[in-house]
Amino acid sequence: MTQSFLLFLFIFIGSGIALCFFRMIKGPTAVDRAMALDTVTTVTTALLVILGFIFKRYIYLDVALVYAVLMFIGSVAIARFLEKGI
């Protein structure tokens, strides 16, 4: 991969994370904030996979998998909490 493509990729991913953090802070409802958090975790997981591919360190793939599973469980817990309104 060329350096300019990687730079574009990291800028694109970084701007996506920044926009999701903005939605988490500014979101008018709790559901918007929960969706922004879920999107941030998805983009971060993709970033870990890309870093593992670039550095040829496959431990990043394992970390991304564990991170995705834990955040899925967290998203389900948040959804259940929002559904019951406790």
Pick the closest to residue 51 from 84, 14, 77, 82 (CA basis).
14
Give the confidence band of 45 by pLDDT, cuts at 50, 70, 90.
very high
Structural domain boundaries enclosing 30: 3-84
User: Is the pLDDT confidence value at 1 over 70?
Assistant: no
Give the confidence band of 27 by pLDDT, cuts at 50, 70, 90.
confident
Give the confidence band of 11 by pLDDT, cuts at 50, 70, 90.
very high
**Overall number of domains in the chain:** 1
